Structure 1
């Protein structure tokens, strides 16, 4: 991987339970990589800060602005991250990102960073065919620094049927993230005047 600092945002899908496993994989696969994690309020229903804290060299933060915090968390996140992964990304978080909303530190950081961003959705039955989700997918795909990683069909934890959409493996997400990072670097070399737009 061509970055040294990766920010992972985990949202409120049941697939957030896999985050400890994938953080162990990142640590074993990329020994020099510093990872920080942001958990949304809904993600905290599925994974705890304690389950992640010893698996990362960076911070495990909640996606909120603490009242007693002196520094702007969103600025610190945007400046620190050389790449950002939303894993898993719920339909709700994806929509907020696509609409340009910035009502949490992770969203505001994602809206303001030039770093490459990979979004790996986890969707309920019918979610992939939702007109709203398809529109949000298209909007995010049009952003130069965002890569949308298609979910895979999987078993719904609610119905037990193969009708949900689960996030792909983290290695696939990282591969696509790195591909987008390389594209951005190449684009800056060929068109340095675009730097201000990215």
Structure 2
């Protein structure tokens, strides 16, 4: 989908990432968007307005009191004009001002006046990004309905290595596309309730130690985010992870396999589609010690007992639900996946070989094969986890369409 006719107001605040905003302007213009740019005084220290004027073919705004047309108030005119407002890069300072209703420059006054959707792409030092005040301000803006594009991780201009790099222009353009696609009623999951599980579980040994696994929750969070973008009402049950909740997704935090089981069962009856991507512990310590187990000479024997198989239990209780499982294997991937479909009464399973490059835990990519109960399978190349999630829902929707055809 191109952006022909869409009016994008790009608000550029001060930081070294301003150069990416120039590239973003160029990409939006090439896709047919009408782009107007507002810059803060700090942003103009890094890149001149002439650069954005050249890229956008429009006048650049930066002074609230520079009213070129006496019949119009510029920041109100811009606020009403925009189909979408994008703040990129968004500094901690600008995020704080908008969250607290401070309107003392061209960008903050325009944002306060607009009723258009607002997309924010933060860029700052990694310590600033996790500062409690900044996190609180971002949560406030999220409660207003503003959407965020997560910054990337890597070497920052300040010399730190961490999270805080402005998302690449391609990612921001993609987020804009997704918004307008959703606005255009491209929501095949509208009216559906989707339950997603994500992340690891933790099984306590003593007050200090526990058993867990390497899952980061990235795949499950991507599935929840895509499901919401496709129009579903999404509930995300997650183990302990350090990920932000996707917009408009209801989140339930759990720790142990038992807690996850109880949370999922409690939601299951009213759910239409279940995507169980969490890496739940198969075993837990049979005995949990009240005090730290002290080191002794010789070996320590730890007795484990089985946890409840959540997926198998959902398969037993299945009525109208469409049930999708995950199988992360290191050998005989297809054999184990097909057996799990039958044994656990699944409609579909997503399987991957965790030893394959680009398919293991913690990364941003995955390499999967999707197996249907009918025996059909779809093998995907290495893709970003959000793209894997989109392809998964294409398969789910295709299968649901087939079921409806035979139900007539």
TM-score tier after normalising by the smaller chain length? 0.7 to 0.9
Structure-2 residue corresponding to 1:114: 115
After TM superposition, the structure 1 = structure 2 runs for residues 159-198 of structure 1, keeping only pairs within 5 Å, are 160-163=159-162, 165-181=164-180
User: Larger helix proportion, structure 1 or 2?
Assistant: 1
More displaced stretch, 65-74 vs 2-11: 65-74
Cα distance, 1:130 vs structure 2: 0.1
Kept in 1, the 8 Å contact 2:18–2:89? The answer is: yes
Q: Gaps (5+ residues) in structure 1?
A: 191-198
Give, in angstroms, the shift of residue 105 of structure 1. Answer: 2.6
* Residue 196 of structure 1: aligned partner: none
Write out per-residue CA displacement over residues 75-110 of structure 1, whole angstroms, 9 at most, x where no aligned residue: 111111111100000000011011111112321221
User: Residues 81 and 67 from structure 1, CA distance in 2 versus in 1: closer, same or farther, beyond 3 angstroms?
Assistant: closer
Deviation per CA, 1:116-162, whole angstroms, max 9, x where unpaired? 11000001130121000110110011112x1011111231222x231
2:89 aligns to what?
Answer: 88
| Map of 1:38 onto structure 2 | 38
* TM-score, scaled to structure 1: 0.82
CA distance in 2, matches of 1:94, 1:138: 10
Matched, 1:13 2:22: no
Q: Residue 150 of structure 2 corresponds to which residue in structure 1?
A: 150
Q: Per-residue deviation at 1:185?
A: 6.9
* Equivalent-residue separation in structure 1 for 2:182 and 2:133 (angstroms): 28
The range that moved more, 102-111 or 125-134, is 102-111
Query: Matched residues in 2 for 1:90 and 1:81: separation?
Result: 21
Q: In the alignment, is the contact (CA less than 8 A) between 1:154 and 1:163 conserved in 2?
A: yes
CA RMSD of aligned residues (A): 2.3
How big is the shift at 1:112? Answer: 2.2
Tell me by how many angstroms 1:182 deviates.
5.5
Is the radius of gyration larger for structure 1 or structure 2? 2
Query: Of the two structures, which has the highest relative contact order with CA contacts closer than 8 Å and spacing of 6 or more?
Result: 1
Q: Could you say what secondary structure the match of 2:128 adopts?
A: coil
State the SS of the aligned residue for 1:7: strand
